Homo-oligomer: A and B are copies of this chain.
């Protein structure tokens, strides 16, 4: 005998989530069975709504419940600066920082020949469309500081070279709060290369 069918099926479905193995999935299912009345149903409804209502914004590519998304629809945001990110989560990170009041463009990935992801797989066509509008003056390339992010940044710099916009990239260096003793070598090297004048 093993667990009853509905329990087995719930474990099987939860195991598909990243980082959730057999043990964690089983623990979650038995937790849900002891949880306050309605908890599994409320979670189920939220997931159903997620699948039904979330789509890509036709302007910026960000995931959204409305089209265009609230960021693209917000007239108070500066339309002359475009921050290009790999993933929708990156938009949330920038919004949390409170430092950026321009607009976003989500590529949904980065160039990675090893994974078979080329420029054609990224949300680039609508980026070029937006730039043709002529309103954008600066594109901030905010791809991750890794091999794929660097390759994507280089590709964008070349692609946008003729469009007549300024292309910048996020500064790299040691994180705020990092003790130099424990900083990783690559970040420390970048921090040296990008050092700034104090006086």
Q: Spell out A's residues near B (CB within 8 Å).
A: 1-7, 9-10, 12-14, 16-19, 24, 26-33, 35, 38-54, 63-66, 69-71, 74, 87-89, 92, 95
Contacts and interface: CB of A to CB of B under 8 A. Distances in A.
Contact of A49 (B10, B24, B87): B10
Given A6-B50, A9-B46, A18-B27, 8 more contacts: A1-B74, A4-B63, A9-B49, A9-B50, A10-B49, A10-B50, A17-B43, A40-B50
Nearest to A96: B2
A61 B95 CA distance: 50
Copies of this subunit: 2
Q: Is the interface of A mostly helix, strand, loop or mixed?
A: helix
B6 A49 contact: yes
A43 B63 contact: no
Given A1-B74, A18-B28, A70-B4, A43 B47 contact: yes
